[in-house]
Amino acid sequence: MQSAKSEFWTGAKAAVPIILAAGPFAALFGALAIKNGLSVFEAGLMSTILYAGSSQMVGIELFSADVAPWLIVFSIFAVNARHILYSAVVGQYIKHLSFTQRYVSFFFLIDPQFALIEERHDKGIQISFAWLIGCGLTFWLPWIALTIVGALFGSLIENPAEWGIDFLLPIYFLALVMGFRKRSNWAAIVVASGAVSILAFHFVGSPWHITIGALAGIVLGASIGIPKDAKVASV
């Protein structure tokens, strides 16, 4: 077992390439949050305490659409529901940590953090608290800082449609969907959710198309089921 200090820096180093790739999206989030009516403080707060990229984007998409508050919170919860699986898995790896250490560590359990934990556990290395925090802070602090930078720049842009900025969220969401394409039942879920959402958008109206479309995909995914040997780590 290495010293806590070197564990911390090993974790931090593992996170660097990923935050470099994800950082621009924090700035984008900040800019779009302003465009969708949040203040710089609210955008920064969201990155600090909610801290979950895709659900933050979904959140601001709904803020601008004048949606009932409980539905925004529910949508954020729905997008982050996959974390329930992560914490079930990671909880097994960190049984040796104290209660406080465990529940602090869970706060940092975003997608790439989970992927790095899986990778380290696969190598047979015990997951230490220092490593988790080194990794977690290296994602979290730049994520907050870049959100604020993006928010400050975002407030300078006057006509977002002229710059195509109004269409960046759909592009971002579609890229995420495509990134999931190796997952079980992906094509069936995309077609079901997409088609039902398009119909619901027309016949029921926004924002209900999101809930109705998503439910169609989830029910379909649950009824097809997944292969027995599928790993949670297929993120």
Partner 1 sequence: MEFSAATWIIIAGAIATYLTRIGGHVVLSRFDHIHPRVDAGLRAVPTAVLAAIVAPYAAYYGVAETITLVAVALMALRLPSLAIFCLGWLCILGLRQMIG
Please identify, using beta-carbon distances, which residue of 145 and 190 lies nearer to partner 1.
Answer: 190
Please identify, using beta-carbon distances, which residue of 97 and 152 lies nearer to partner 1.
Answer: 97
- Least Å distance, CB 230 to partner 1, is 8
169-172, long-range: CB < 8 A, 24+ apart: 169/32, 169/57, 169/60, 169/61, 172/25, 172/28, 172/57
- Least Å distance, CB 13 to partner 1, is 21
User: Which window, 3-11, 53-61, 122-130, 143-151, contacts partner 1 (CB under 8 A)?
Assistant: 53-61
User: Which window, 2-10, 87-95, 115-123, 129-137, contacts partner 1 (CB under 8 A)?
Assistant: 87-95
Please identify, using beta-carbon distances, which residue of 4 and 232 lies nearer to partner 1.
Answer: 232
- Least Å distance, CB 134 to partner 1, is 18
Please identify, using beta-carbon distances, which residue of 75 and 128 lies nearer to partner 1.
Answer: 75
Q: Report how many residues bind partner 1 under the rule CB under 8 A.
A: 97
Contacts with partner 1 in 100-139 (CB under 8 A)?
102-103, 106-107, 109
Residue 17 in the binding site for partner 1 (CB under 8 A)? no
Near partner 1 by CB under 8 A: residue from 4, 16, 50, 204: 50
Please give the Cα distance from 136 to 142 (Å, whole number): 11
Using alpha carbons, list the distances in angstroms from residue 42 to 8, 52, 63, 130, 169.
30, 15, 12, 30, 19
Residue 79 in the binding site for partner 1 (CB under 8 A)? yes
Q: What percent of the chain is helix, strand and coil (3-state, nearest 5)?
A: 75, 0, 25
Contacts with partner 1 in 160-219 (CB under 8 A)?
163-164, 167-168, 170-181, 183-186, 189-190, 192-198, 201-202, 206, 209-219
Confirm if 43 and 31 have CB atoms less than 8 A apart. Answer: no
- Least Å distance, CB 154 to partner 1, is 15
Sign of CA dihedral 189, 192, 198, 201: negative
Q: Print the SS3 string covering 71-109.
A: HHHHHHHHHCCHHHHHHHHHHHHCCCCCHHHHHHHHHCC
Residue 153 in the binding site for partner 1 (CB under 8 A)? no
Please identify, using beta-carbon distances, which residue of 153 and 180 lies nearer to partner 1.
Answer: 180
Residue at 49: amino acid letter: I
Please give the Cα distance from 119 to 169 (Å, whole number): 30
Please give the Cα distance from 10 to 13 (Å, whole number): 5
